[in-house]
Every structure is written in structure tokens, then in C-alpha cells.
Amino acid sequence: MIRYMGFILLSGLLAGCSGDAGDDGFAGLAGLERGGGANASAEVDYLQPGPETSLNFPEDFGPHPQHRIEWWYLTANLKTESGEPLGLQWTQFRQALQPRAKAESAPAAADWPLQAAWMAHAAVSWRGSHHFAEKLARGDIGHAGATAVPFQVWLDNWRLSGQPDSNLWRLQVSDDDLSYDLTLRIKGAPIGHGEQGFSAKSAGGEGSMYFSLVDIAITGEVTMNNETLAVSGKGWFDREWSSQLLKTGQKGWDWFALHLDSGDKLMAFRLRDDSGSFRSGTWIPAEGTPAPLTADKLNLKMLETREGVPVRWQLRVPAYQVNLELLAPPGNYTNPGLYPYWESAVDISGSHQGVGYMELTGYSD
């Protein structure tokens, strides 16, 4: 899901406007944004989505080179053959250093252009331990990218790919001590959040385009430390893109994607700032039309923290008689990448039972 905070930092470093650029390996790219894109039409501006922007399929499964940031994101609440829960995440980000109109062709790979940087994350949580891997690449060379038709998102040998005229996707990830090969059976149409896919991110109207596939049946194999496990379960897939960065004062992000045993689904997020927070969400009933949830319909409360990270929450949506308690399993689920953040499965109790995923940013410092 959204990793605004991280991307602020990432884009700051890439654009060379971060004062302490030398602290990170990424600093190597400091100052490259201006010269990065060869002689491509530097006149093009970033596109900013608004309430009037609509979703288009299947194009919107592919990349949006005229937008600053976007990501493809999958979380999965799986079970091993013995019934043990296993959480899994895969995310691929694109960060533009220079916007490019969709119609315009990509710069020549032989020039090693740097119009965009790609980053991919893979994580598996099992029996309280957390495995994480990260990959980086520059765009337009060929070893990292995305296409809508056929649907492909890849970075090196990590790849999410769909078959034409099929609802089956395959996700392959391979790293030193973590790899997985999963089959995803996509059920149901994409759900647009907010106003037909435009999801506001502040009271001032800033926001991003955001849709999800909320009903995915997953089977496959996960290998950690040379041990291979057969797994199956349900997944949640997000697509989001924007050109706006966080509003000044916004500090972090709490996001939840929940599969309730009743068959209903619930997405809720909160952007924290100095004065309070901006809340939003979507109620996706088992039958019927999804309903956007504005801040007044959504109640979110921290109940318990673990080393500074809130791991137990109360989430209430009174309009739908929802009063849930969400709890992360024991362990530390920080993804220790360039920009660390928390990513864990949650167990649901209260008015409903179920499972889900939680992403928390901005607590690490």
C-alpha cells in the first residue's frame, strides 16, 4: 500500500534536495534528476489526478510514466499445510525522476537513462520471524519495468505476470534466503476507492488514484533458509499512483486491509499529522456496492504498542455495526530496507473474526 513517507525520502535523495544525502547508498544518485533523462522533452509536467480522473482497465494495471510515484502491492494471509499462519508481502515501486508523456517512447537503453528508479520489496513472516529482501534498479534499461498487456511487473528475476484472457497470475521472487512462487486466482472486479478511484489523502484535496483486487485465492510454495513450504490462502492487491507528495506536517501512515469471515472486506487508512489525522476507508460488503467511508464514519484507536509501534488497534465503523480489535502476532515485522517500515498480518476479533494486513510508517524514529 502507500509508502508515502519512504517515497518522500527516496525522491528527496534522488532529487538531490536532501541535506544529508551522504547517509545513504542511494546518495549516489544525488543531483541526477535534472540531467537524468537524456534530451527527452523536459517540458512535460507531472500529471496530478483529481476527483475528475477516472480508472481505465486494463491500462491502469501498467505504468504511468507521467506520474511521480506508483506501486503494485500484494499482501497475503496464507496458511501452511499444517495450518500455521504465514504472512507474505510483495511490492514494486516506481519513482520518476523526470516525467514522460505516455505517448512518448522510452529513451534508448544504451544510454543508460535515469528517468525512473524502481524498487522491489519481498517479505515473509512465519513463526514470529520476519524475512525481508530489497532490490533496486533504474528504469528503461529492461531489467525493471511493468506492462499492462500482457500484465507484467518485474525487477531482475522477481516477476508478477498475468496470462492473457485468464484470471491466473504468477508471482516469482528469488533471493538468497527467501523465495516464493505463487499462483494467484483473481476473483471479482477491481474496486475503486474514494470517488471512482480518486482517493483523497488530505482535507485539502490532495490524493492519488487507488484501486484494489480484494478477493484473490493463492496457492504455491515459499522457501526460507532452504526449507520449502506449501501454502494457500487469500490475498489483497493494490494499485496506486500520484504525483503529489505528503502534505507538510504529515508524519506517517497507518493502513489496514481486512478480510472478515462474513465475506465482507474493509480498507481503512489514517495519515497522521501534527494536529490530528486524516482518515478514510472503503466498506466492501460480500454482496452489493462498495461504500466509501469518510472520517466521521471511521473510528480508529491505538490500544497497545510494542517498542514504539502500535500493534493492537480498535477499529469501528458504527454504520455497519463493525467493532474490531486488530492484533499483530508476536515479533518484529519491520522491513529493514532503505526506508524502514512495519508490515505485518493482523488477527481480527470483536464483532467479526478474520485476518488482514497492517502497514505502519513513521514510527521508526
Partner 1 sequence: MTGIRSLYQRFCRTLLLPWALLSHYRRHPWQLAALAVMILVATMLWTGVSHLTSQARASLDQSEQAVAERQQVVRHDGQALRTDDFVSLRLAGVCVMPWLEVTPEAGNRLIGIDPLAARCFGDGAEAPGSWEQPLDGRPFVDIHAAATTDGIRESQLSLLVSDTTRAEALPPAYQLRRFSAGPDTGELGDSFLLNLEALGILVLLIAALLLRSVYLLGLTQRRNSFALLHRFGVSPDRVQRWLMLETFVLALICVVPGVWLGRWLAAGLGSGFGEALDNLFDIPLYAGQGQSWLTPALVMLAVVKVASLGDWLWLRFRQRLFVPAPVWAGVAAMLLLAGLVLAWLGPSLFWVFAAVALVFAGVGWLTPVAVARLAHWQAFRSEAPLVRWRYRELAVLVRRLTLPLVALQFALAMVLAVQALVTTFEDTFDHWLEQRLAAAYYIDVPAGSDSDEVANWLAGQQTETPGMEWHRVVRGHADFVDAGKADGQQVDVYALAPVSSLVRGWEFLEATARPWEHLAAGEGALINEQLARREEVGAGRTIQLDFGGQSLTLPVVGVYPDYGRPVGEVLLNADSLPDQFTPRSESYAITPGVPGIGPVVEAFHQIWGVQSLPMRDSDTVRELATGVFDQTFALTRAMTLLTLVLAASSLLMMGWVFFSARAWYFRLLEVWGMPKPQVAAQLVRLSLMLTGGIAVLALPLGIWLTWVLVHRINPLAFGWSLPMAVYPVFWLELGLLSLIIGLSIAVLMRRQLGRPGVAPVSANTLAGGER
Residues forming contacts to partner 1 in the complex (CB under 8 A) are 21-22, 25-32, 35-36, 38, 109-114, 117, 134-138, 141-143, 154, 156-157, 174
CA proximity to 180, closest of 43, 76, 104: 76
Rounded to the nearest whole angstrom, what is the least distance from the CB of residue 322 to partner 1 in the complex?
42
Q: What's the half-sphere exposure (Cβ side, CA atoms, 13 Å) at 196? A: 9
Locus of grid cell 505516455: 102
- 220 contacts: CB under 8 Å, gap ≥ 6: 171, 180, 181, 182, 183, 230, 231, 232
* Of residues 276 and 336, the one with the C-beta less far from partner 1: 336
Q: Among residues 10 and 123, whose Cβ is nearest to partner 1? A: 10
Neighbours of 15 (CB within 10 A): 18
- Distance (Å, rounded) from C-alpha 4 to C-alpha 8? 6
Q: 22 vs 51, which CB is nearer to partner 1? A: 22
Place of cell 490475498: 235
Interatomic CA distance for residues 159 and 155, integer angstroms: 6
Q: Find the shortest distance in angstroms from Cβ 333 to partner 1.
A: 22
- Who contacts 111 (Cβ-Cβ below 8 Å, separation ≥6)? 38
| Phi, then psi, of 266 in degrees rounded to 5 | -140, 130
Residues in Cβ contact with 216 at an 8 Å cutoff, skipping those fewer than 6 apart: 74, 76, 184, 185, 186, 187, 234, 235, 236, 237
Between strands 341-350 and 354-361, the pairing is antiparallel
Distance CA(80)–CA(6), nearest Å, equals 32
Close Cβ partners of 35 (under 8 Å, ≥ 6 residues apart): none
| Cα gap 183→220, rounded to integer Å | 6
Give whichever of 28 and 128 is closer to partner 1, judged by the CB atom: 28
Nearer to partner 1, 28 or 205 (CB): 28
Cell of 174: 528469488
Q: With respect to partner 1, which residue has the nearer C-beta, 143 or 251?
A: 143
- Residue type for position 113: P
Provide the minimum distance between the beta carbon of 303 and partner 1 in the complex, in angstroms, as a whole number: 37
- Nearest to partner 1 of 31, 285 (CB atom): 31
CB closer to partner 1 out of 136 and 213: 136
Comparing CB distances to partner 1, the nearer of 135 and 316 is 135
CB of 231 to partner 1, least distance (A): 22
